Amino acid sequence: MYAIDHLDVPPLHSAGGTVRLPGSKSISNRVLLLAALSVGYTDIADLLDSDDTRVMLAALAQLGCRIEPQADGALRVHGLGGALPVKQAQLFLGNAGTAMRPLTAALALLASVHGGAFELSGIARMHERPIGDLVDALRQLGCPVDCLGQDGYPPLRLGNGTPQTLALDQPIRVRGDVSSQFLTALLLALPLVATNRAPTLGTGVSSQPPEGTVPSWGGPATGRDIVIEVVGELISRPYIEITLNLLERFSVSVRRDGWQRFTIPAGCRYTSPGRIPVEGDASSASYFIALGALASPTPGSDGITIEGVGLSSIQGDIRFVEAARLMGADISGEANRLHIRRGAWPLKAIDLDCNHIPDAAMTLAVMALFADGPSTLRNIASWRVKETDRIAAMATECRKFGALVEEGADFIRITPPSSWTTGSIHTYDDHRVAMCFSLAAFNPAGLPVRIEDPKCVAKTFPDYFETLFEVCQTPAQAIPVICIDGPTASGKGTLASEVAQRLGYQLLDSGALYRATALAAQDAGVDLDDEPGLARLAAQLPLAFRDHKVFLGGRDITDPLRLESTGGMASRVSQHLAVRSALHALQLSFRRLPGLVADGRDMGTVIFPDAPLKVYLTASAEQRAQRRHKQLISKGIAANIDSLLADLKMRDHRDSSRAHAPLKPAEDALLLDNSELGIEQSVQQVLNWWQGKTVFSET
Ligand SMILES: Nc1ncnc2c1ncn2[C@@H]1O[C@H](COP(=O)(O)OP(=O)(O)OP(=O)(O)O)[C@@H](O)[C@H]1O
Ligand SMILES: Nc1ccn([C@H]2C[C@H](O)[C@@H](COP(=O)(O)O)O2)c(=O)n1
C-alpha cells in the first residue's frame, strides 16, 4: 500500500494481464456478522483484508467472539449462537457503513433481549452519515436507541442495560429510499428474535454440531413471523439480494413480496454453513473492467482478465459489465472470471439510470471522460451520503481534466474535455475516488495524474495501485527517474531510499550491483583484473532482493555487501567497461511504474541520461569520513577515522579518474553539498526540486 502524501501516476499507455481481486467488502462484512451470530463455527475463505473488515473483526472480538486464522488462510469465526457474553462495550467503527448499520440493528436487539448497553461511534465523516431511518425502525420495535450527538446520526447508544419487551406483532416500517443498508441491517438482525427458543448449543461458547446433524434447541418452537415493510421506493436492490442470498446460506429463508414486504419466518435460527468462500469484489472489478475498455492491449496480451468474480456473481455491481458494454467495452466471461478488451473507441456516451450499481457507477464517470459525447448518470442521490458527497466530489475532480460537468440532486452529466488538462486529485478519504481517477492517466495528452492520500484505498483494496501498475505499461521515457550521484559516504543511499519511500518509487542502489559482482568474484576466485571473467559473472549475477535482505545465489550477503573492503573491491571491478556493459540492462530494468530513484556514480551521466532530475550529492571528505566512522561504530565495527579518510580519498580518485563512466556531475545535475545539512533537510531539498519539475508545481 502507498502510505504516502500523494502518488503521481505517470501517463499510462497500454494494459494486459490477469488481476486477482480482493474479497467483496459487502459480502465479507455480512458474512462476518452472520458467522458471529450463528450457532457453530464458520471458516471464511478469501475474506477481504481491509480497513472496513478489520473494523468489523475488532468489534466482534470486543463482543466476545473468538476468531482464529486457519492454516489454509481461512478465518474461523466461532458463533455466539444468539448469546451475548459481553453486555457492555464501546465500539469504534471508523468510516465503515457496512459495520455501523448492521451492528446497530443487531446490538440494539440483543441489548434489548439480554439487557445490554453499547456505544457505537466512528470518524467525523461517519457522524455526518444519516442513520435516523434505522434508528426510527428500532425505536418502533421498543429498542432504546439514543443519538449521542446530532439526532439521526452516530454516535449511538443502544440499550439501557435492562431487558425490554419488543413489539414484533406489527410490521416494522423502514425507509428504503435513502440507503438500502437500513433494510439490510434489519434483515440481518431480526432473525435473532424470530424465535423464543434458546439453543442448547452455544451459550457464547462455540461448538460445531456434528456433521450431518441438526442442532437441537431447548424449549418449544414458539415465535412468530416478523414482517418488514419498506416505505418509499427501495434503492440499491442488488445489495438486498446479496443479503437475502447470504441469509439463506446461514439457514434463514426470508419471504419477499416484491420489494416492499419481507417476512422472516417464525422459528428460524442462524446456523453456520461450515465453510463459506467470499467472492472477489465486483465494485473493485469495475476499475479493471474500465481499464480493459480504455487501454490499448499491451502487445502480446489479450486485454485484461479478472479472476475471483464473474458472470454468476451474487453482487449487484457485476451489472457494471452491462454498463461498460454500453460504452463499448468488449467483455466475455465465465462464472468466476471476466475478460475485457477495448471495443468501441472512443467510448460511447451513455445516459443511464445507475440506481442498481451505485458504487461501480463512479467508474463510469471517469470512463465518460473518454466518451464521444456527454454522458449522464442518473438516480444516484445515494452518492451524496456515502464516504463523501460523491456527486460533488466527482464533479469537482472531473473538471480538473477539462471536462464540463453539470450536477443535480441525483445526477451528474459529464462532457469530455476538448483539451485535456491534469490536476491533483483530492480524494476526500474516499477509496473509490482514488481508484477511479487513476484511470485518467490514460488521457490522450500523456499527462500524469496526482492522487492525493492514496492510502485511502485501504478501505477495500489496499494493494490497488500495485495491482494496477502490474498490468499497465508505458514507454520507459514516461516513467520518471530521479538520479542521485556522488562520492562515497556522501549520503546517496540514505537520501535515495528516503526520497523513493516518500514518492512511492522503486529504488536502485547501483553500487550494490558492483559490490555483488566483487563478492561473486571473490567466491569464484576470479581476479579483480580479469575483465572477461568479471563480465561473465556480472552478466548472470544470481541476485535476489527479499525482505530488506540481499541474496547472492541463495547466500545472504546483506552484511558483507556493506563492508568497506567490499566497497573498495567494487571500485576496482567497476573500472572495466565489459563489467559496466554487463550490468547496464539490469539497471535499466529497475525503471518501473510509478517511478525510480537511482543512486550511484553514473546514473545521470550514462544510465538514465533522460532523467528529469539529476542530483550530484557531495560533502567534504572530512565530513564523509566522520559519517562513515559513526556508521561503522554504531554497527559495532571497529574503525579508524584517519585510515577511513585515506581510503575514501583513494576511492574518490579511482572512481572519478577512470576511463569509463567516471564519477562526475551530469551537465544538467543540481549540486547539493550536504556538509552542513541534516538528512531531512537534504530530503526536503530534493523533494522540492522534484515538485518544481512536475506539472503539479502550480496546483
Ligand atoms: N545529510 C547527512 N547528514 C549527516 N549524516 C548523513 C547525511 N546523509 C547521510 N548520512 C549518514 O552518512 C552515512 C553514510 O551514508 P550512506 O550510506 O547513505 O552514503 P552513500 O553515499 O550511499 O555511501 P556509499 O556510496 O559508500 O554506499 C550514514 O550513516 C548516513 O546515515
Ligand atoms: N553507478 C555506480 C555505482 C557504483 N560504482 C562503483 C564505484 C564505487 O566505489 C563502488 C561501490 O559503490 P557504492 O556502493 O559505494 O555506492 O561501485 C560505479 O562505478 N557506478
Domain end call among 253, 277, 301:
277
Which pLDDT does position 82 carry in this prediction?
85
390 is in an annotated binding site: yes
- 213 annotated as a binding-site residue: no
Strand partners, 172: 228
Q: Report residue 14's pLDDT band, with 50, 70 and 90 as the boundaries.
A: very high
Respond yes or no on whether ipTM tops 0.90. yes
Residue 67: strand pairing partners? 77
490 carries a ligand binding annotation: yes
Q: Which atom of ligand 1 is nearest to the CA of 488?
A: 25
Asked if residue 487 has its Cβ within 6 Å of ligand 1, the reply is no
Q: Does 567 sit in the ligand 1 pocket, CB within 6 Å?
A: yes
What's the sign of the alpha-carbon dihedral 379, 231, 247, 69?
positive
Indicate whether 442 and 327 sit together in one domain.
yes
Entry pTM: 0.87
Q: What's the rounded Cα separation, in Å, for the pair 580 and 103?
A: 62
Do 587 and 648 sit in the same domain of this protein? yes
Do 448 and 1 contact (CB within 8 A), yes or no?
no
Closest protein CA for atom 7 of ligand 2: 571
Q: What is the secondary structure of 180-221 as a DSSP string?
A: THHHHHHHHHGGGGS--PPBSS-SSS---PPTT-PPPB-S--
pLDDT exceeds 50 at position 87: yes
Rounded mean pLDDT, 243-255: 96
* Mean pLDDT on 87-112: 96
* Distance between Cα 520 and ligand 1 center (Å): 25
- Known binding residue 386? Answer is yes
In a domain, 698, yes or no: no
Answer whether 377's CB lies under 8 Å from 412's CB.
yes
Q: Give the confidence band of 338 by pLDDT, cuts at 50, 70, 90.
A: very high
CA–CA dist 127, 113 (Å, integer): 27
Statement to judge: residues 259 and 124 lie in one domain: yes
* CA 43/CA 297 separation, integer angstroms: 39
What is the sign of the dihedral through the CA atoms of 575, 580, 586 and 588?
A: positive
467 shares a domain with 483: no
- Ligand 2: atom nearest CA of 658 is 19
> How many whole angstroms separate alpha carbon 494 and alpha carbon 497?
5
38: in domain: yes
Does 414 share its domain with 443? yes
C-alpha cell of residue 38: 450463528
Question: Ligand 2 centroid to 574 CA: how many Å?
Answer: 7
- 385 confidence band (pLDDT: 50, 70, 90): confident
| Mean pLDDT value of segment 122-136 | 95
pLDDT of residue 211: 40
**Domains: count for the chain:** 3
Q: Please check whether residue 1 lies inside any domain of the structure.
A: no
Residue of 51, 133, 359, 430 marked catalytic: 359
- Domain presence at residue 65: yes
Rounded mean pLDDT of the chain? 93
**Amino acid of residue 281:** D
Residue 482 vs residues 6, 500, 595, 596, 666: alpha-carbon distances, Å: 17, 9, 8, 6, 13
pLDDT band at 178 (very low <50, low <70, confident <90, very high): confident
Q: What CATH number has the domain bearing residue 397?
A: 3.65.10.10
Same domain, 535 and 467: no
526-535 burial, b if ≥16 CB within 10 A, otherwise e?
bebeeeebbb
Distance separating alpha carbons of residues 353 and 326, to the nearest angstrom: 12
**DSSP state letter for 575:** T
Provide the percentage of residues in the chain whose pLDDT is more than 70. Answer: 96
Residue 329 CA from chain centroid, whole number: 25
Nearest to 380 by CA among 403, 364, 404: 364
Answer yes or no: is the C-beta of 567 below 6 A from any ligand 2 atom: yes
81 annotated to bind ligand: no
Best mutation site among 485, 492, 510 for ligand 2, i.e. most ligand atoms within 8 A of its Cβ?
Answer: 510
| 569, 583, 655: residue to mutate for ligand 2 pocket, most atoms within 8 A of CB | 655
**For residue range 657-694, what is the model confidence (pLDDT) as tens digits?**
999 999 999 999 999 999 999 999 999 999 999 999 99
Find all residues with CB under 8 Å of 558, minimum gap 6, and list them: 548, 549, 550
Residue 272: inside a domain: yes
The neighbour count for residue 3, using CB atoms within 10 Å, is 11
| Phi, psi values for residue 532, rounded to 5° | -60, -40
Q: What is the C-alpha separation between 551 and 559, in angstroms, rounded?
A: 10
Q: Residue 699 — pLDDT band, cuts 50, 70, 90?
A: low
Same domain, 37 and 180: yes
CATH code at position 544: 3.40.50.300
* Secondary structure of 215-278 as H, E, C letters: CCECCCCCCCCEEEEEECCCCCHHHHHHHHHHHHHCCCCCEEECCCEEEECCCCCCECCCEEEC
Question: Does residue 30 contact residue 243 with C-beta atoms inside 8 Å?
Answer: yes
Mean pLDDT of 167-185: 92
Q: What is the pLDDT of residue 304?
A: 98
pLDDT digits (tens, 9 = 90+) for 209-224: 444 333 333 334 456 8
For ligand 2, atom 16: residue with the closest CA: 511
Q: What is the pLDDT of residue 698?
A: 60
Beta-sheet pairing, 226-231 with 481-485? unpaired
Indicate whether 516 belongs to any domain.
yes
| Distance from residue 169's CA to the centre of ligand 2 (Å) | 81
Distance CA(33)–CA(379), nearest Å, equals: 30
Q: What is the mean pLDDT of residues 528-553?
A: 95
Please state, as a whole number, how many other Cβ atoms lie within 10 Å of the Cβ of residue 381.
17
Instruction: Give yes or no: residues 446 and 531 share one domain.
Output: no
Which pLDDT score is estimated for 637?
85
- The residue whose CB lies within 8 Å of the most ligand 1 atoms, and thus the one to mutate among 566, 617, 627, 654, is 627
CA-nearest residue for atom 8, ligand 2, is 571
User: What is the C-alpha to C-alpha distance for residues 290 and 221, in angstroms, rounded to an integer?
Assistant: 52
Which of 60-69, 175-184, 256-265, 604-613 is predicted least confidently?
Answer: 175-184
Residue type, 658: R
Q: Hey, what long-range contacts does 673-680 have (CB within 8 A, 24 or more apart)?
A: 673/618, 673/619, 674/490, 674/491, 674/495, 674/617, 674/618, 674/619, 675/619, 675/620, 675/623, 679/491, 679/494, 679/495, 679/498
At 43, the amino acid letter reads D
Beta bridge partners of 88: 117
Domain termination site, one of 218, 244, 277: 277
Ligand closest to the CA atom of residue 678: 1
pLDDT of residue 177: 87
Shared domain for 400 and 528, answered yes or no, is: no
Q: What is the pLDDT of residue 196?
A: 61
The answer to whether 561 and 512 are in contact (CB under 8 A) is yes
Kindly give the distance from the C-alpha atom of residue 601 to the centroid of ligand 2, in angstroms, as a whole number.
Answer: 6
**Ligand 2 atom 4: residue of nearest CA:** 511
C-beta of 655 in contact with ligand 2 (< 6 A): yes
Annotated ligand binding at 286? The verdict is no
Cα of 627 vs centre of ligand 1, distance in Å, is 7
Q: Ligand 1: distance of its center to the CA of 5 in Å?
A: 25
271 C-alpha to ligand 2 centroid (Å) = 64
Q: What is the pLDDT of residue 207?
A: 44
End-to-end Cα spacing for the chain: 25
* 360 in a structural domain: yes
Please check if 634 is assigned to a binding site.
no
Minimum-distance ligand 1 atom for the alpha carbon of 486: 21
Confirm or deny that 257 is annotated as ligand binding. Answer: no
**Which of 277, 297, 324 is a domain's end point?**
277
564 touches ligand 2 (CB under 6 Å): no
152 lines ligand 1 (CB under 6 A): no
Q: Does one domain contain both 461 and 319?
A: yes
- Residues forming beta bridges with residue 145, ordered by sequence position: 158
Residue position matching grid coordinates 508505458 = 474
User: Is 359 a catalytic site residue?
Assistant: yes
Sheet of strand 404-407: strand arrangement: 351-353, 375-378, 412-415, 404-407
The whole domain housing 49 covers: 30-277
Which three cell numbers, joined as nine digits, stand for 202?
452455544
C-alpha cell at 663: 564519477
Ligand 1 atom nearest to CA at 631: 29
Ligand 2: nearest atom to the Cα of 587: 1
What's residue 387's pLDDT? 87
- Does any ligand 1 atom lie closer than 6 A to the CB of residue 184? no
Q: What is the DSSP letter of 280?
A: B
Residue 197 has pLDDT above 70, yes or no: no
CB 243 within 8 A of CB 101: no
| Mean pLDDT on 130-145 | 96
Ligand 2 centroid to residue 515 C-alpha, Å:
7
Helix segments in 504-620, DSSP class H: 510-524, 531-539, 558-561, 564-573, 577-588
In a domain, 699, yes or no: no
H or E element: which one contains 35?
Answer: helix 25-37
Lowest mean pLDDT among 123-127, 216-220, 511-515: 216-220
Strand ranges (DSSP E) for 592-675?
596-600, 613-618, 670-673
Ligand (nearest to CA of 568): 2
Question: Does residue 396 sit in the same domain as residue 287?
Answer: yes
454 shares its domain with 486 = no
Cell of 345: 473507441
